[in-house]
């Protein structure tokens, strides 16, 4: 028995589009009428979310992501499509100021959901107005079954296949690290706005069907979620090949033992200093927590640590912890433990500045000064890390050079925030609410279509920004609200 289609304001538009397609006409571009009840949330009612994106052009990456418009009949005219000139001019101004195709797609997708999905209001007053004709990359078609191409793996317009999904389980954290969370903290969303365990499993099922083989659980601090061991077992049952977690290591020892028993394969532990006073200064929490972290690192790096490697993640900041690089490298001598030094990245309200930023070149110079025999190692095909090896050490030394030498060309990662927003790039401000689509009754096929089209709009590098200075001046969530 087929499920009834949710009632929305756009049924007449969808019907006309289907009729037109049946008679051989091409679908119109974002042409609809928005009903209003005097409430800003009612303005979000809009058109269907199906979009067509032209294949990438070879050559210049900056041009490859531009979709080519196809021929189409002139948009119909009539009272149903009338827009007041003042409103039209206001909308055109907003479009020019925004100028981003992905955000238009996200707004259209949220606007097409039923009101019961509690979708956020769109920043456009008239989402389906003819003014959006200026966005030549966007075409509208009616909802329907996914085509064969939409069931293929998640490949963007630059040929990058996405097989790695990072899911934030919570916005909460028991530390307040300076590079991750603003000093004043963050406003937490109500629990009902966050993904439930069942919703997380449903989304992973959809992504697994699109070729995702690795899932990483992040936060906030994912260990504050009480059901994380149960979630781990459930994810493994879905056939995920690699299941990883990024944690601050503060949770009690038995919680990590439970994760190992549940099937967690890889552990990343965030640790920026080996000194108690510095730990307190960076994390804004008692320095005694460091002893707990070091004990859990030893546990995970030992025989009980599952099948995968354990990595320490260290965000290096000049004048704060940069003199500890040799001390951390020393940890790799007697343990099967990798240490990764991460360039400090700019996010909202984390105080990023070029004076405190320490680039890859300086970090490797210090490494070679302390360990003259260190050699460059082999990186994996999708590695974010540039690996080095000190001869005789059991563990490796790595550098994540997101700012000075980005690795966007081989990116295979996608992110889902704790409130269910899909971010195709860590540094992009654009997101798409998969939570709202789930709660509106979207099928797996419909979800897969939305995800595939979002991936197709992914920028080539740094969320479309030129460099770290442009990132520092742009708007994005604090890292704690994205997921590490």
Which two tokens mark 229?
Answer: 């061991």
Give the residue-averaged pLDDT of 141-151. Answer: 37
Provide the pLDDT for residue 169: 95
Identify whether 220 is preceded by a cis peptide bond (ω within 30 of 0): yes
* pLDDT at position 174 over 70: yes
Per CATH, which fold does 164-411+464-482 belong to? TIM Barrel (3.20.20)
Provide the pLDDT for residue 28: 38
User: What does the alpha-carbon distance between residue 17 and residue 313 come to, in Å, rounded to a whole number?
Assistant: 51
Provide the pLDDT for residue 138: 28
Provide the pLDDT for residue 129: 30
CA distances in angstroms from 434 to 64, 152, 198, 420, 447, listed in the order given: 26, 19, 13, 6, 7
Do 150 and 449 touch, CB atoms closer than 8 A? yes
Give the residue-averaged pLDDT of 136-155. Answer: 43
Helix 253-262 / helix 289-301 crossing angle, nearest 10 deg: 30
314 φ, ψ (degrees, to nearest 5): -125, 115
Provide the pLDDT for residue 355: 82
CATH 3.20.20.70 maps onto the chain at 164-411+464-482
Provide the pLDDT for residue 184: 73
Do 134 and 434 touch, CB atoms closer than 8 A? no
Strand partners, 376: 388
Q: Which residue's entry shows tokens 């090896």?
A: 389
User: What does the alpha-carbon distance between residue 423 and residue 59 come to, in Å, rounded to a whole number?
Assistant: 26
Give the residue-averaged pLDDT of 50-73. Answer: 39
User: How does residue 108 score in pLDDT terms, banded at 50, 70 and 90?
Assistant: low
Stretch (H or E) spanning 445: helix 444-456
User: How does residue 22 score in pLDDT terms, banded at 50, 70 and 90?
Assistant: very low
341 φ, ψ (degrees, to nearest 5): -100, 125
* pLDDT at position 266 over 60: yes
Percent of the chain at pLDDT exceeding 90: 48
User: What does the alpha-carbon distance between residue 433 and residue 431 come to, in Å, rounded to a whole number?
Assistant: 7
* pLDDT at position 116 over 70: no
Count CB-CB contacts under 10 A for residue 84. Answer: 9
CA torsion through residues 100, 102, 103, 108, sign: positive
* pLDDT tens-digit readout, 294-340: 999 999 988 544 456 899 999 999 999 999 999 999 999 988 899 99
């Amino acid at each position: 028995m087929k499920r009834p289609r949710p009632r929305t304001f756009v049924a007449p538009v969808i019907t006309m589009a289907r009729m037109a397609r049946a008679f051989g006409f091409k679908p119109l571009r974002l042409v609809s009428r928005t009903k209003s009840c005097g409430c800003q949330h009612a303005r979000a009612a809009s058109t269907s979310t199906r979009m067509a994106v032209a294949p990438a052009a070879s050559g210049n990456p900056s041009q490859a992501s531009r979709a080519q418009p196809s021929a189409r009949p002139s948009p119909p005219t009539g009272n149903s499509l009338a827009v007041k000139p003042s409103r039209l001019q206001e909308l055109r101004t907003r479009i020019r100021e925004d100028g981003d195709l992905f955000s238009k797609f996200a707004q259209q997708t949220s606007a097409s959901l039923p009101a019961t999905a509690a979708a956020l209001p769109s920043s456009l007053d008239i989402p389906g107005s003819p003014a959006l004709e200026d966005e030549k990359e966007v075409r509208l078609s009616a909802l329907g079954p996914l085509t064969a191409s939409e069931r293929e793996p998640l490949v963007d317009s630059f040929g990058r296949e996405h097989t790695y999904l990072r899911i934030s389980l919570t916005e909460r954290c028991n530390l307040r690290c300076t590079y991750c969370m603003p000093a004043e903290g963050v406003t937490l969303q109500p629990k009902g706005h966050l993904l439930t365990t069942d919703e997380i499993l449903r989304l992973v099922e959809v992504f697994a069907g699109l070729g995702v083989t690795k899932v990483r659980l992040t936060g906030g601090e994912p260990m504050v979620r009480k059901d994380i061991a149960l979630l781990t077992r459930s994810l493994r049952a879905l056939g995920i090949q690699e299941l990883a977690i990024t944690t601050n290591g503060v949770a009690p020892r038995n919680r990590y033992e439970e994760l190992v028993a549940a099937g967690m394969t890889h552990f990343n532990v965030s640790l920026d200093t080996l000194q108690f006073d510095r730990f307190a200064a960076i994390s804004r929490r008692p320095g005694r927590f460091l002893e707990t972290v070091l004990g859990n690192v030893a546990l995970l790096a030992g025989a009980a640590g599952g099948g995968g490697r354990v990595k320490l993640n260290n965000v290096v900041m000049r004048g704060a912890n940069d003199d500890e690089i040799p001390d951390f490298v020393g940890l790799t001598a007697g343990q099967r433990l990798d240490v990764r030094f991460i360039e400090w990245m700019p996010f909202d309200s984390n105080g990023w500045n070029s004076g405190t930023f320490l680039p890859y070149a300086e970090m490797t110079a210090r490494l070679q000064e302390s360990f003259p025999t260190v050699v460059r190692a082999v990186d994996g095909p999708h590695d974010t890390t540039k690996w080095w090896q000190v001869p005789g050490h059991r563990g490796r030394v790595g550098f994540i050079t997101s700012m000075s030498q980005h690795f966007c060309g081989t990116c295979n990662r996608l992110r889902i925030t704790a409130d269910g927003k899909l971010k195709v790039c860590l540094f992009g401000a654009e997101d798409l609410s998969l939570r709202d689509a789930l709660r509106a009754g979207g099928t797996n096929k419909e979800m897969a279509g939305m995800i595939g089209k979002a991936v197709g709009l992914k920028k080539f590098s740094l969320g479309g920004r030129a460099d770290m200075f442009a990132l520092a001046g742009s708007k994005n969530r604090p890292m704690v609200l994205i997921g590490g």
